[in-house]
């Protein structure tokens, strides 16, 4: 008897590989596998690379943005010391910067022979998930103008204290305000002194 012709089998095996951070590659052309004379099917594998990327994200955790008020009576005699906890939410390297409105603790009134401005220091400590830490201290006076201290200005890819790894947990990061007892040549005028610090965070390359 005359045998009927063997059917053709068209098979395409696709292997997918997902990688992060690279551009897409063109797909390979389709390959058709034909049945052999013995009825077996050839196996043909075609690799298609599927690639995508995820951008860094960086900010303060919803419950971790630094905030609060430092109130210290007679700070001219006792000095200042207070930590404001902060928690970053950055998937990669980041930078944090600080600006001071007044550059010192000041009050509006002025009287001859007395000072209405008291210096203090700002220290920033940033901690990453892998245990690395970045720290920097600056006089408040240097935080009025961008670039005068590592911390000064508004955070960007090139400005601010850099933390080189992801930070997403409660790792002990903080902003510290400190000053020794006042030792200026003129005594401080009685009254209320104040300053405002603004902290910004940015992704770092």
User: Same structural domain for residues 112 and 162?
Assistant: yes
Model confidence over 125-139: pLDDT tens digits? 999 999 999 999 999
User: Same structural domain for residues 46 and 107?
Assistant: no
User: Same structural domain for residues 98 and 181?
Assistant: yes
User: Same structural domain for residues 39 and 104?
Assistant: no
64, part of any domain? no
4, part of any domain? no
Model confidence over 23-71: pLDDT tens digits? 444 444 555 555 555 656 677 788 898 988 877 889 999 876 777 788 8
81, part of any domain? yes
More confident residue, 40 or 22: 40
63, part of any domain? no
Q: Domain limits at 21?
A: 13-52
59, part of any domain? no
Q: Are 46 and 15 in contact (CB under 8 A)?
A: yes
Tokens standing for residue 134: 């970045």
Say yes or no to pLDDT of 117 above 80: yes
Mean pLDDT of 174-193: 95
Work out the angle at residue 121's Cα, subtended by the Cα atoms of residues 120 and 123, and round it to the nearest 5 degrees: 155
Say yes or no to pLDDT of 148 above 60: yes
Query: How many domains is the chain partitioned into structurally?
Result: 2
Q: Average pLDDT over the chain, rounded to whole?
A: 83
Distance CA 118, CA 134 (A): 27
User: Same structural domain for residues 116 and 35?
Assistant: no
- Output the pTM of the full model: 0.74
Q: What percentage of the chain exceeds 90 in pLDDT?
A: 65
Query: What's the pLDDT at 38?
Result: 60
Distance CA 86, CA 14 (A): 48
User: Same structural domain for residues 86 and 178?
Assistant: yes
């Amino acid at each position: 008897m005359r045998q009927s012709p063997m059917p053709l089998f068209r098979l395409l095996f696709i292997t997918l590989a997902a990688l992060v951070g690279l551009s897409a590659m063109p797909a390979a052309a389709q390959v058709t596998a034909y049945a052999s004379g013995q009825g077996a099917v050839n196996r043909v594998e075609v690799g298609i690379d599927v690639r995508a990327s995820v951008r860094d994200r960086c900010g303060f955790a919803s419950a971790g943005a630094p905030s609060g008020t430092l109130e210290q009576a007679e700070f001219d005699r006792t000095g200042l010391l207070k930590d404001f906890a902060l928690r970053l939410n950055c998937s990669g390297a980041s930078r944090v910067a600080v600006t001071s409105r007044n550059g010192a603790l000041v009050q509006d009134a002025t009287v001859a022979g007395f000072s209405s401005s008291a210096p203090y220091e700002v220290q920033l400590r940033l901690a990453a998930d892998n245990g690395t830490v970045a720290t920097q201290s600056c006089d408040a006076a240097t935080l009025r103008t961008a670039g005068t201290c590592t911390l000064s200005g508004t955070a960007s890819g090139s400005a601010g204290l850099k933390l080189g790894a992801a930070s997403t947990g409660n790792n002990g990061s903080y902003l510290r305000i400190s000053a020794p007892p006042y030792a200026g040549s003129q005594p401080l005028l009685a009254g209320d002194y104040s300053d405002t610090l603004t902290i910004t965070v940015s992704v770092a390359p």
